């Protein structure tokens, strides 16, 4: 049970970091020369997965990942977009896009909080012998 909660906490940490990065983008929407940033976890996951596949590890099922040895390496990274410019002053923050990303991240965070609450509710139910 706590393995699930621990995994959900990794997602919550990522969502919290992304909220901070996106909020920084919104705060600097009128700063000349500011370049937007975002949190990149997909390339980190793909790289970790490819390293895991290249190792000769024993698994009980082909669908299992060797998570223990790679979990610490799957830290999200902050990437800055230097390739685009939205305005003449060099700023590339699009207000509407950032707001959509912020709402998307909020929904992701809320769904993880809901999952953690349900897991802890199951634990409360077990401790209370099924009584409320």
| CA-CA-CA-CA torsion sign (94, 96, 99, 100) | negative
Lowest-pLDDT range of 28-32, 52-56, 126-130: 52-56
Task: Tell me the pTM.
Answer: 0.72
| CA-CA-CA-CA torsion sign (104, 15, 83, 51) | negative
Averaged confidence pLDDT in the chain: 82
Contacts of 23 (CB under 8 A, 6+ apart): 102
Split at pLDDT 50, 70, 90, the class of 89 is very high
The tens digit of pLDDT for each residue in 44-56 reads 656 655 665 565 5
Instruction: Report the chain's C-alpha Rg in angstroms.
Output: 20
- The pLDDT of residue 71 is above 60: no
Neighbouring-strand partners of residue 78: 39
């Amino acid at each position: 049970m706590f393995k699930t909660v621990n995994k959900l906490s990794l997602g919550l940490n990522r969502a919290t970091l992304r909220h901070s990065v996106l909020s920084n983008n919104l705060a600097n929407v009128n700063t000349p020369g500011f370049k937007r940033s975002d949190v990149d976890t997909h390339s980190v996951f793909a790289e970790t997965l490819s390293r895991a596949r290249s190792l000769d590890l024993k698994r009980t099922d082909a669908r299992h990942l060797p998570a223990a040895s790679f979990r610490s390496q799957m830290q999200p990274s902050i990437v800055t977009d230097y390739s685009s410019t939205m305005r003449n002053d060099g700023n590339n923050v699009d207000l509407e896009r950032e707001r959509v990303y912020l709402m998307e991240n909020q929904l992701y965070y809320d769904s993880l909080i809901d999952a953690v609450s349900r897991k802890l509710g199951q634990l409360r139910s077990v401790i209370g012998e099924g009584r409320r």
